[in-house]
Structures are given as structure tokens and as C-alpha cells.
A = this chain, B = another copy of it.
């Protein structure tokens, strides 16, 4: 690990000269000859600036934290891919902090943030992460971008067109001729969950369809909770002929539970899900989904955080490009008659 002073010695100049030349700031007065010698020496020694020293001096770590509920999740993976890629273009690194299975009293988030490890944080709140945790984060004074939740405190946010997406999904079922439509939503405290429900209700209202309370569930976004939702609906005297599932992971649970209960999809029941990950295609039947730009959401989140870090501006952005798109596969069909 060659240091600046190693290079300086080899080139026969001072460390400051080396630093200035190598950092290529405009307006430094160094002769062509020494410039050359410095570059040569640096190359010969394979010099790389020490990140910790740089970070200490400049109080910039060129790293951001990404706080997510869990990593074994295709939705998260897409998001993360976007974050990663955008970070690369900005010359940033990404530190993952999963809140999955956090022992109580766990300190990893405050530690991540309080010790100057990162220049900012991207937070995607899952069901089990509350506003309190968010406060811990925002109170740290670090730039924070929250993903899919409008940040109540300061700090910006990025989110998707959840409402429009759900409307699209619901309209698809309505167009197919369904009138008794169920809704399997996320936990009611989640903000994006509320937006999705709103989208569903809007579409139903626009079609003058009634929404019976027992057809609206809010167990959560995971496969097991999707299964729970289906159980609840299947128990009804007249189950719905179609279900809008607010999350594709939950939809996978709905699908397996349907199989277990002998409900044929889409013959007995149509399923349409929010988010289009690669798992939609391997499911049986392949899931009809509404594709929201998760990858772009990740990129936008990182880009916003970068802006926030560098200029302090914090906005709430809605990622609407590409627009929500219905991907029709084989889990939806007209209702049996």
C-alpha cells in the first residue's frame, strides 16, 4: 500500500505537490515535468489513495447505507440493483443493513449512521419497522431518503405510483367481467399500503362496484400472509371470483394456498399482483402483474440521496417513468359463469 509520501519521495517532490497533481483540481500550478514524474511514480508504485484518510479529512466516505427489511426478496433485489448501479456511476459504495431478524435492542442502524461510516442513508421500511426507527435515522442529521414512504420529518423520499398501479390491476379484472373482487393488502399502518388500497377502491368506485368489507384483508406482503388472505376469503359463503394482491410475494402464497384448497387459477379465481419480478414467470400459472419501475426507483433513490448529500435539497419524488404497466399472463381470465 503505497502512500502519498512514498510517491513523493520517489518523484523527488513534496507530498502536497503529489496530492495536488493526483487530485487533478483545476488551477494548480505544477510544471509539466514534475507532473510527469509524479504520474510515473504513482503508476510504478501502483498508488491508490487511502480511503480512510481521505474520508477523515474530507468527512465524505463515498458510501451510503441501504436499510431494507430483508434480502431474500425479489422486490428488494430489483431495487438494490438500481441503487447499486446508480451508486457506481456516482462513485459510491453501498453498505447493506438488513433489519431482518434484528435482535431486540440491536444497535446496528444507529451505529451505521452515527459513526460517520456513510454519507447518507436509503431506507425502505418494511412492515415491522416503525416511525420510531425512522426518527432514529432522521435525527442523526444525516441525509436520508426514504423509499416508498413519505418521510414525516425532514429528508426526501422517492416512491412509485402505487395508486395508479392498483387501479390498473383492478380495472383489468373489471374489464374481464369480474364484479366480486377481493383485495389482499399489506398491513394497514404502511403508507404505501394505504395508497394501494386507495387505488383499488377508486377503480371499484369508478366502475360502480360495491366493495364488501369482508373482501378487503390486510395481512401483509409475505407469502404466508397471502395464504392467510385467501383462507379468509375462501371461507366466505360467496368467495370473490378475482383477487387483487397488493404484493407479488403475497401472491405466490395465494397461489400455493389456492392449490392446496383446490381452487383453480384462473378458472375458479383470477389473481393479479402488484410488482413484476422474475418469479412471476416461474409461478404456475404465470402471474398477471402490474409492473412498477423498481429498478428505476432504486436508481432514483440513490440519485436523490446524492443530490441531498451534495446540495442539501430534499424533495419528495414520484417515479412515474416508465409508467405502471399491466403484464397479462395466465392467472387472470373472465369469471366462470
- Bin chain A's interface residue count: 35 or more
Q: What residues on B are CB-neighbors of A285 within 8 Å?
A: 284
Do residues B95 and A48 form an inter-chain contact, with CB atoms below 8 A? no
Nearest Cβ in chain B — how far from A169, in angstroms? 19
Chain A 107-136 interface residues, beta-carbon cutoff 8 Å to B: 108, 110-112, 114-117
Give Cα A282–Cα B84 distance, bound, in whole angstroms: 28
Do residues A72 and B63 form an inter-chain contact, with CB atoms below 8 A? no
Do residues A80 and B88 form an inter-chain contact, with CB atoms below 8 A? no
Do residues B51 and A115 form an inter-chain contact, with CB atoms below 8 A? yes
A1 interface contact, C-beta 8 A: yes
Nearest Cβ in chain B — how far from A77, in angstroms? 4
Q: What residues on B are CB-neighbors of A101 within 8 Å?
A: 85
Give Cα A326–Cα B177 distance, bound, in whole angstroms: 44
Q: What residues on B are CB-neighbors of A48 within 8 Å?
A: 110-111, 114-115
Q: What residues on B are CB-neighbors of A88 within 8 Å?
A: 108
Nearest Cβ in chain B — how far from A264, in angstroms? 12
A209 interface contact, C-beta 8 A: no
Other A-B pairs, 5, CB within 8 Å; known A51-B116, A52-B116, A77-B77: A1-B141, A52-B59, A95-B96, A223-B282, A282-B283
Return the 10 tightest CB-CB contacts between A and B, nearest first.
Answer: A284-B284, A51-B115, A52-B55, A48-B114, A72-B77, A52-B56, A252-B282, A51-B117, A50-B116, A71-B77
